[in-house]
């Protein structure tokens, strides 16, 4: 399943990270629709809002179906046919949708057959392994290349490198279904989504028996989004488990949805003390978090920490994905990435 994610990039960098080639081979960045609603978070749960990609044709009938837009939608699909005034009164959980029943259940079938396919974006997702002493959380994400640039772009630089290839964190791209619900008594349309799940791949099945359907690569994303060119029966063939993921254990700090700091996804060493070790950069980070949260219940996107080179040591030629994450967070010295043995 997938019940918690992180997506910490600001709106401008998220747009850059989603750059793609259009039908003519031109490099494009998806347009943000109401970007001001988006809020980055290290700990997103159902009923919160999150960024998704979809075809522009869903919003503009004469648009090229291969053109993409970014929208901030609520997590937990509300079917267009839902009749009550308050979507929170739904009697069932629609944050996840099983791949084996998505063409059978009325909550998803109608939207899927109408081509309402989307890609849910995240740094990665959290999953909990059941253990005798409780549950151990893990953070699961795409492997990061050694060329990943770990420094977050300063605010005044954002948007200046739009034509250059994104070299920051590779976002996890999960297959989803969305729908648009209009309150019976009138009012603003509500866009919501669900994440499709599949049987877990071999490497992560020891954590949980289900995982999100991950679209690995732009061609898979193109086929999933372009509903005018790729019919439903063809698109659903993309819904498969993937082995191209890595993971590491994290602190139970992430268990509370109210905790929203980099500590949520920072690697820990199992069997060791769960608290994050004090380092100059972590002390400065925690100091920033304390100061930024005083008098402000929710941080704005541009208030998220943007680490500079003073917090980052020169990378080793053999960086692992966790090494990159430590540098992304401005930390070092934690254990190497865990990869399940066959």
pLDDT digits (tens, 9 = 90+) for 211-240: 999 999 999 999 999 999 999 999 999 999
How far apart are alpha carbons 75 and 238 in whole angstroms?
Answer: 22
Q: Is 97 a catalytic residue?
A: no
Cβ atoms 7, 52 nearer than 8 A: no
Q: What is the predicted pLDDT for the residue at 328?
A: 61
Cβ atoms 155, 105 nearer than 8 A: no
Q: For tokens 């109210």, what's the residue?
A: 258
User: What are the pLDDT digits (tens) for 237-276?
Assistant: 999 999 999 999 999 999 999 999 999 999 999 876 444 4
Residue 190: CB atoms within 10 A of its CB come to 16
Q: Is 31 a catalytic residue?
A: no
Arithmetic mean of pLDDT, 25-49: 94
Q: What is the predicted pLDDT for the residue at 80?
A: 92
Catalytic residue from among 7, 118, 127, 334: 127
Cβ atoms 226, 21 nearer than 8 A: no
């Amino acid at each position: 399943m997938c019940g918690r994610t992180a997506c910490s990039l600001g709106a401008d960098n998220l747009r850059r990270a989603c750059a793609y080639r259009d039908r003519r081979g031109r490099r494009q960045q998806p347009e943000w629709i109401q970007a001001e609603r988006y809020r980055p978070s290290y700990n997103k749960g159902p009923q919160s809002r999150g960024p998704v990609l979809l075809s522009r044709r869903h919003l503009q009938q004469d648009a090229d179906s291969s053109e993409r837009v970014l929208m901030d939608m609520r997590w937990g699909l509300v079917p267009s046919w839902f009749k009550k005034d308050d979507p929170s009164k739904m009697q069932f959980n629609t944050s996840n949708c099983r791949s084996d029943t998505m063409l059978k259940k009325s909550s998803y079938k109608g939207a899927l057959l109408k081509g309402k396919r989307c890609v849910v974006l995240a740094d990665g997702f959290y999953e909990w392994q059941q253990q005798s002493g409780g549950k151990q959380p893990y953070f699961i994400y795409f492997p990061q290349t050694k060329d990943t640039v770990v420094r977050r772009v300063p605010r005044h630089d954002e948007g200046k490198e739009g034509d250059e290839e994104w070299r920051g964190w590779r976002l996890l791209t999960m297959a989803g279904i969305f729908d648009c619900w209009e309150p019976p008594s009138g009012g603003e349309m509500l866009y919501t989504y669900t994440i499709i799940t599949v049987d877990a791949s071999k490497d992560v099945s020891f954590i949980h028996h289900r995982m999100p359907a991950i679209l690995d690569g732009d061609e898979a994303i193109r086929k999933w989004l372009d509903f005018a060119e790729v019919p439903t029966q063809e698109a659903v063939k993309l819904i498969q488990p993937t082995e191209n993921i890595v993971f590491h254990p994290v602190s139970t700090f992430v268990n509370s949805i109210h905790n929203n700091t980099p500590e949520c996804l920072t690697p820990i060493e199992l069997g060791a003390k769960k608290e994050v070790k004090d380092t100059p950069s972590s002390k400065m980070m925690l100091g920033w978090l304390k100061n930024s949260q005083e008098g402000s219940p929710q941080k704005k996107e541009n208030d998220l920490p943007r680490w500079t080179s003073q917090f980052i040591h020169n990378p080793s030629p053999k960086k692992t994905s966790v090494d990159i994450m430590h540098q992304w967070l401005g930390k070092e010295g934690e254990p190497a990435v865990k990869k399940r043995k066959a």
